[in-house]
Structure 1
Amino acid sequence: MRGKNINYDFLNCARKMPPLRHTTSETFDITQSEVARWLVSQPDIMQKIFDMAANHKMISYDQATRTWRGADNND
């Protein structure tokens, strides 16, 4: 059985990323990474992450409340 071929075109925006820092301290913290922040702010990357979460049923839309929620969220 062959796996799905993943299309990475959504990452093409990274080719235009300006010079940014990935670490700002001795202890690595992804939330402090300028690179990670820039990447997740790009519309193509945001859309792909959203689509992946929805397609893999990690999030779902509730038409009654018109909201999205995580699959394991019981609120």
Structure 2
Amino acid sequence: MKKLDYKFLECVRKMPPLQHVKSKPFDITQSEVAKWLASQPDIMQKIFDMAANHHVIAYDVKTQTWRGAD
């Protein structure tokens, strides 16, 4: 079994302080932390590579587009 390389998370060490109001239930779609993480190139690249390597997305050479494998 291949061990996951977590070096792509090193950028998170420099994350600025971000809000989460504890009086509201956690909503990932409204999370400042999730939005910041999704904006980081290293994290975006790792997620893309994982999706491509696990064949859950596929590139269509004819249309030059990526799509979900299903």
- Counting matched residue pairs gives 70
Q: Find the counterpart in structure 2 of residue 44 from structure 1.
A: 42
- Unpaired segments ≥5 residues, structure 1: none
* Aligned alpha-carbon RMSD (Å): 1.4
If the length of structure 1 is used for normalisation, what is the TM-score?
A: 0.86
Q: Which structure carries more relative contact order (alpha carbon 8 Å, separation 6+)? A: 2
Runs of 4+ in 1 over 4 A off after TM superposition: none
Residue of structure 1 aligned with 2:59, choices 58, 61, 70 = 61
Q: Find the counterpart in structure 2 of residue 20 from structure 1.
A: 18
- Unpaired segments ≥5 residues, structure 2: none
Q: Distance in 1 between matches of 2:22 and 2:63?
A: 41
- What is the CA distance between 1:27 and its match in structure 2? 1.9
